[in-house]
């Protein structure tokens, strides 16, 4: 469930953040569900607990999880307004990226193909 690429140039805590985001957004992890403790997850992944803690802090800062002192970390409920705001930011970023890609000569079909490949990748990970 929590597979990491230790050879990747992407820092481990960032990989963890992205993995948890995917699991939360795809509702594999449900609202108010408790996440594994820092100690247990660190042992399972054989990585430093500080790395897990750093990822959890960032996820909490972004609103994906919340913590209860002495109890642990839990999946936050997805608030539509927060999601709408994030979706608008992403739309703006994608508009800039797609505009640049078209300017550099990419064809519309190539961009659509990339989006479809990403969609298949995300759906494939949800089914694992």
Predicted pLDDT of residue 126: 52
Nearest-angstrom CA–CA distance, 62 and 66: 10
Predicted pLDDT of residue 102: 93
pTM, rounded to two decimals:
0.64
In CATH, what class is 12-75?
mainly alpha
Stretch (H or E) spanning 80 = helix 80-103
Predicted pLDDT of residue 78: 76
Mean pLDDT, the chain cut into blocks of 10 residues (128 residues total)? 81 93 86 95 94 95 92 86 72 92 93 90 64
Nearest-angstrom CA–CA distance, 6 and 31: 29
> What are the boundaries of each domain within the chain?
12-75, 80-127
Task: Say if residues 126 and 28 touch (Cβ distance below 8 Å).
Answer: yes
In Å, how far are 19, 76, 81, 105, 121 from 126, measured between CA atoms? 11, 19, 24, 33, 9
For helices 49-61 and 38-45, the axis angle rounded to 10 degrees is 120
């Amino acid at each position: 469930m929590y597979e990491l690429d230790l050879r990747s140039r992407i820092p481990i805590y960032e990989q963890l953040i992205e993995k948890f985001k995917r699991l939360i957004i795809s509702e594999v992890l449900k609202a108010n569900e408790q996440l594994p403790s820092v100690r247990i997850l660190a042992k399972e992944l054989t990585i430093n607990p500080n790395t897990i803690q750093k990822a959890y802090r960032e996820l909490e800062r972004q609103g994906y999880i919340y913590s209860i002192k002495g109890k642990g970390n839990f999946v936050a409920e997805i608030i539509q307004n927060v999601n709408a705001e994030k979706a608008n930011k992403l739309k703006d970023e994608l508009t800039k990226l797609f505009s640049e890609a078209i300017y550099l000569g990419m064809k519309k079909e190539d961009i659509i193909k990339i989006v479809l490949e990403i969609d298949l990748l995300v759906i494939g990970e949800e089914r694992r």
